[in-house]
Amino acid sequence: MARTNDLLRTFFRTAAKSGWADASANAATACTGRSNMQVTLRLLLFKDLKMTVPTVATANLRPLALSAGEDLWHGIWKWDLWGRLGWLEIRRRYKRTLIGPFWTSVSLFVFVVVLGTVGSGLLSKNTHEYLPFLASGMIVWVMMSSILTESGSVFIAGAPLLRQKQFEYSLLVYALVWRNAIVFAHNMSIYAIIFLIFAPEKITFNIIIFAIPGMAFVLLNAIWITLLIGLITARFRDIQQIIQTIVQISMFVTPIFWHADNLSGFRRIIFVGFNPLYHLISIVRDPLLGETPRLNSWIAVAIITAAGWTVTYILYSKFRKRIPYWL
């Protein structure tokens, strides 16, 4: 019995290395002089059975890992999944509260009213003009600052899921952007209240013609920003602290509390012309104020979108497979 087992093991090792024909010849030679063993092996393995090795069409095989393009494209169409993830995160944050996400709107409303009242006096501005300006800018800024600060933990927070299951990583990015868009929609109630009280004449069709496309561009840029920061932060955790510091400083150097026309010369070029946050805010804030966005802001946003997505796609294509190992 032991001899038979040895012959069977030798047979299959030879078949794996040299093929079934060589394995059959070697087995027949080994069985010479052992009639019972020879008859058993021949009947079982190679005399009466025509054993062939199945061929696989390697041309049709695809890698198990998704490419960056497949990840982004397949993920965007699973809107029911990332939409549900974003909504559940909002429900978790405001669980057992009476007004839910409107608490963000209430705090922002108080901030705008108090700061707008004081700021209009310090800057010698008319309150009826300064409050709508401040409110429309802060609504967009709150969404963008939240996306920037949360993007560093987009993959870190989903580490348990990334290690256990293969799926489109972009779902986590879309969910983060979506939940901040929901909060932005809640904060638009502040815009409605302030503008109906102080500047009802500024509510025009420019909101539909320019503000909605501008908001679409902001969200499109928010996706690559979240993906890029999340990818880099997964490897270098200090980036998240740097981003938070930059966001705090950017709030004061970006024309949110003050008009861009207040600066001139070299300062205007640095803090207005080369400030991407200003242009992203401007294409949404100007239509909310009943104005037409400046052409240079649209051109700047188009350049930011193209350059940002190009760099992000290249880095995501190269390092996507390493994300689970960095977490």
Contact of 247 with 142, CB cutoff 8 Å: no
Contact of 327 with 236, CB cutoff 8 Å: no
Please report the sign of the dihedral spanned by the C-alpha atoms of residue 194, residue 198, residue 200, residue 203: negative
- CA nearest neighbour of 223 among 72, 84, 85: 72
Q: Which residue has the tokens 């779902």?
A: 171
Distance CA 248, CA 204 (A): 33
Instruction: Look at residue 53 in the predicted model and tell me its pLDDT.
Output: 47
Q: Domain extents for the chain?
A: 2-60, 68-326
Residue 17 amino acid letter: K
Distance CA 259, CA 195 (A): 18
Q: Which residue has the tokens 């009826």?
A: 128
- CA nearest neighbour of 147 among 70, 215, 68: 215
DSSP 207-232: IIIIIHHHHHHHHHHHHHHHHHHHHH
Distance CA 213, CA 284 (A): 8
Contact of 142 with 168, CB cutoff 8 Å: no
pTM: 0.77
pLDDT tens over the chain, length 327 residues: 555 556 555 655 565 555 555 555 555 555 555 544 544 545 445 444 444 445 545 445 455 567 888 889 988 998 888 888 888 888 888 888 787 778 888 888 898 888 888 887 877 788 888 888 999 999 999 999 999 999 999 998 888 888 877 788 899 999 999 999 999 998 998 888 888 888 887 777 777 788 889 999 999 999 999 999 999 999 998 999 999 999 999 999 999 988 888 888 888 888 888 999 999 999 999 998 888 888 999 999 999 999 999 999 999 999 988 888 887
The rounded Cα 155 to chain-centroid distance in angstroms is: 9
Contact of 51 with 20, CB cutoff 8 Å: yes
Burial class (CB in 10 A: 0-12, 13-18, 19+), 315: middle
